[in-house]
Amino acid sequence: MPDAQGTNPRPVLRIAALVFGVLMVAVLAGLGTWQLFRLQWKLDLIARVEQRIHAAPTLAPGPGEWATITAASAEYRRVQVSGEFRNDLATPVQAVTELGAGYWVMVPLVGADGSVTLINRGFVDGGQGRAIAPGPSGIVTVTGLLRMSEPRGGFLRSNDPAAGHWYSRDVAAIAATHHLTHVAPYFIDAAAESRPGSDSVSTAPPSAPGERAAGQPIGGMTVVAFHNNHLVYAITWYVLALMLAAACWHVRQEMRADR
């Protein structure tokens, strides 16, 4: 319908809608393509981690390598480290696992050079309170998966070192609480105890809590899983782009019909 000046605003509005629609089609298609790149990155990451967790163990990164360690370059590497447990400094960290609620048992391991590596000895059932069986004495060698520190707490709660309440495996905070220095910026999830015919780095628990002595940590419970919905996201963006492209085509056809 013409306005007071006798002009019809519909063509202008249609042109504006068409231009906007074309731009949005480009944006949606770009988002779909970006998700495909993310999909390839995630598949490469999964393959890399799978290779790491099943590889032969190597020595855990020493002090000379600490500054260059990142999650991309080192997390889930299967490593070994030797030293003596400081069982008097065991720190229980709240955990929820397939075995229920309980605690991870984080214990400093002091190497011959004085460097310290936090070891997650494993899971202790929450029904046992905070009773923790001490680790072995003397020089021990621990095999496990290298994990990056978990700062800023967890379970929607912040760590409270003063009260002894820990909700994440924050290496720096745990070390500071126990006045430890020269501490590795990562921790190691200890592998399950070796058993005949078993893989010592299996992510399945070797036994239920009730089958062990009270407070004895269960190792080898690292969950290695990655969310990978990128293909679904890509398809969603592409479908939206096609739907909007169809709407743009319809508007274009109407514009031609009005000429």
Measured CA to CA, the distance from residue 171 to residue 149 in angstroms comes to 5
8 A C-beta contact, residue 132 and residue 217: yes
Q: What is the predicted pLDDT for the residue at 237?
A: 93
Give the position of tokens 């360690």.
69
Which distant-in-sequence residues (6+ apart) come within 8 Å of 252 by Cβ? Answer: 18
Residue 249 sits at the vertex; the CA angle it makes with 245 and 255, to the nearest 5 degrees, is 145
37 and 161 inside one domain? no
Closest CA to 189 of 248, 135, 122: 122
Measured CA to CA, the distance from residue 183 to residue 16 in angstroms comes to 61
> How many separate domains does the chain show?
2
112 and 237 inside one domain? no
Measured CA to CA, the distance from residue 77 to residue 82 in angstroms comes to 16
232 and 207 inside one domain? no
Each residue's pLDDT tens digit in the chain (259 positions)? 555 555 556 677 778 888 898 999 999 999 999 999 988 888 887 788 888 888 899 999 999 999 999 988 899 999 999 999 999 999 999 998 888 889 999 999 999 999 999 999 999 987 655 667 788 889 999 999 999 999 977 767 899 999 989 999 999 999 999 999 999 999 999 998 633 333 333 334 444 544 455 568 888 888 777 778 989 999 999 999 999 999 888 888 877 777 6
Q: What is the predicted pLDDT for the residue at 134?
A: 82
206 and 123 inside one domain? yes
Residue 65 within a domain: no
8 A C-beta contact, residue 120 and residue 143: no
